[in-house]
């Protein structure tokens, strides 16, 4: 049976964005995350990564590790097959890893599918169009941080084509562990997004 996972940010002992993680789990399983999490001895100080591995029928295991953010300053555009899929957070990331192997000397990849910008290998992506932060309307994986920011109208989902990249001034990577933070915005240049 295929295994999935959720990565939940634990900030000073408190789980973040749990309602959005639960919504994603509900797509394929009926586990109640809070019932599982309240039995855990969560670290009370600092930022930690809680990974819960599960199948549609049961929770397999969990791990808690201190969070160390990855420094990302450059993205390599990688075009994938039109049928490339990662709509659920599968533990088997072999297809993403094959795409990631094409990053050359960039820090990370920016995946293009069917001529549209989607995600990196580990995050959703935001772009600043001058006044508004936007995110691809068709990501590979609809992340929990992305869902919250769209719901709160902090960002707008829109179709982003490869040729649209020239119209953006900055980009930012977000996921369960990397929330919206203007200090993480990176200028769009030929060096930061490599074609």
Output the DSSP codes for 61-109. Answer: EEEEEE--------EEEEEE-TT----S-BS--HHHHHHHTT-TTSSEE
pTM of the full predicted structure?
Answer: 0.93
Q: Does the pLDDT of residue 7 top 90, yes or no?
A: yes
Q: Which residues of 156-167 are buried (b: 16+ CB within 10 A; e: fewer)?
A: ebeebeeebbee
In degrees, rounded to 5, the angle at the alpha carbon of residue 97 between the alpha carbons of residues 3 and 90 is 15
Q: Does the pLDDT of residue 166 top 70, yes or no?
A: yes
Choosing among 3.40.50.10320, 1.20.58.1610, 3.30.470.10, 3.40.50.300, the CATH entry for 4-66 is 3.30.470.10
pLDDT at 110: 98
pLDDT in tens, 110-158: 999 999 999 999 999 999 998 999 999 999 999 999 999 999 999 999 9
Backbone angles phi, psi at 126, to 5 degrees: -120, 150
Choosing among 3.20.10.10, 1.10.287.70, 1.10.150.240, 3.30.70.270, the CATH entry for 75-194 is 3.20.10.10
């Amino acid at each position: 049976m295929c295994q999935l996972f959720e990565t939940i940010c634990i900030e000073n002992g408190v789980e973040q964005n749990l309602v959005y993680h639960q919504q994603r789990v509900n797509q394929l399983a009926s586990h109640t995350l809070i019932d599982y999490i309240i039995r855990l001895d969560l670290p009370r100080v600092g930022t930690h990564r809680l990974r819960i591995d599960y199948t549609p029928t049961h929770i397999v295991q969990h791990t808690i590790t201190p969070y160390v953010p990855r420094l990302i300053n450059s993205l390599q555009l990688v075009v994938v097959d039109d049928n490339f899929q990662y709509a659920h957070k599968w533990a088997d990331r072999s297809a993403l890893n094959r795409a990631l192997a094409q990053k050359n000397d960039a820090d990370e990849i920016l995946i293009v599918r069917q001529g549209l910008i989607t995600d990196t290998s580990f995050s959703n992506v935001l772009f600043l169009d001058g006044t508004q932060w936007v995110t691809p309307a068709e990501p590979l994986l609809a992340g929990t941080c992305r869902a919250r920011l769209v719901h709160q109208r902090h960002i707008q989902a829109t179709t982003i084509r490869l040729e649209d990249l020239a119209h953006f001034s900055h980009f930012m990577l977000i996921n369960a562990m990397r929330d919206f933070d203007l200090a993480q915005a990176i200028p769009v240049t030929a060096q930061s997004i490599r074609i």
